[in-house]
Amino acid sequence: MKCDDLIQELNTWEYDEKIYREYYFMKKTPEKVKDFVKSHSDHELEVGWVLNPELLNQHAGEDEFISEKYNVSLVKHPRYLPVFYHEHDFFEIIYVLSGTCTNSFRDSTEKLTAGDLCLLAPNVRHGILAVEDDSIILNILIRRSTFMDIFYNTVRDKTQISGFFVGNLYSREKIRYLLFHTKDDIVIRNYILDMYREQKTGDSFSDRIICSILTLFFVELTRRHGKKVSIPDNRRERTEQESEMLAYMMRNCSTVTLNELAEKFHFSVPYCSKLIKSISGKTFSNLLTEIRLQQGEQLLLCSQLSVEDISDRVGYKNPESFIRAFRRLYNDTPSQYRRKNK
């Protein structure tokens, strides 16, 4: 299916969208609302959401929105669905294919237009509203583990996206979202449509293909728009310093010491120790342990390396020390964790 055909399909009105649109234009007239409820009595679920959007699940886990067999899911946001504030455990990309929408947070609202792309961190309370007939909004839902897989391989790059990733793993003051204005960038648009097309294919290869496309998408997004990204709360300067320090620890977790980190960033050792505590809420030693164990977890799930090789790769010269530390955090030995989750 060609991109133009996909766009035409996405522009087709779903039945629930028709219900939401009808209510949107009559909600200020009580008499019409009564007639609306009667005329759609066979669609109680959609009508209930329209009248009481707060009944929708306000906190969602990954498996509630992402199919068990997928790591990434693409969903069209229904036009005219009343805004409801919610948060979820996974990363989300909100992409405006056409028209406009608003993405509202506790203390601010972003109006997004065609080509805009909002990369949203987990557990950020927000609500989306699209009330134009030509608005096509695609939500790309990404499991945390998948997001980590992608960015463990790109954390060497000093970009705002990798900083966003590192900060959401280890920084105490997390960046809520990044905003990109890609405008009429066909390359970015087509990567998203390619993922949507592959999801429609839905065979045993689709999940791996979608994840591969997503990796290319992030690389191209960084290349083409990384220097123009908008960060909320004016935290760019501090964020860059934080992310560079945390990324250095991630890249060198098997050998890095506090003295080495302080020398690298031209700080005294006591000041560097205080800065790490300020950034992460953890001591250098505790943060390093967390980084090592999370990287160990990724290697357990995404490689065929033995537990001994993994422990050495993440900085534990004695495998028993790695196994004990891993069990304290994950309540399973590395081998048990691999069997249960791979």
216 and 295 inside one domain: no
145 and 204 inside one domain: yes
Number of domains in the chain: 2
Domain-embedded: residue 87: yes
The CATH number given to whatever domain includes residue 138 is 2.60.120.280
- Average pLDDT in the 274-278 region? 93
Q: Provide the pLDDT for residue 12.
A: 96
218 and 141 inside one domain: yes
Domain-embedded: residue 15: no
Residue 319 is part of which domain span? 252-341
113 and 141 inside one domain: yes
Domain-embedded: residue 43: no
Domain-embedded: residue 199: yes
Whether 85 and 127 have beta carbons less than 8 Å apart is answered as: yes
213 and 333 inside one domain: no
Q: Provide the pLDDT for residue 158.
A: 66
What is the DSSP secondary structure assignment for residue 230, as one 8-state letter?
B
Confidence band for 108, pLDDT divided at 50, 70 and 90: confident
124 and 170 inside one domain: yes
- Average pLDDT in the 298-307 region? 88
Cα–Cα distance between 337 and 342 in angstroms, integer? Answer: 8
87 and 129 inside one domain: yes
227 and 315 inside one domain: no
The CATH number given to whatever domain includes residue 334 is 1.10.10.60
Q: Is the pLDDT of residue 48 over 80?
A: no
65 and 212 inside one domain: yes
Cα–Cα distance between 121 and 175 in angstroms, integer? Answer: 7
Domain-embedded: residue 45: no
Name the strand (E) or helix (H) holding 139: strand 136-142
Residue of 150, 167, 142, 166 lying closest to 219 (CA atoms): 150
86 and 195 inside one domain: yes
Reported as a single tens digit per residue, the pLDDT across 123-177 is: 999 999 999 999 999 999 999 888 888 877 665 566 777 778 777 778 877 788 9
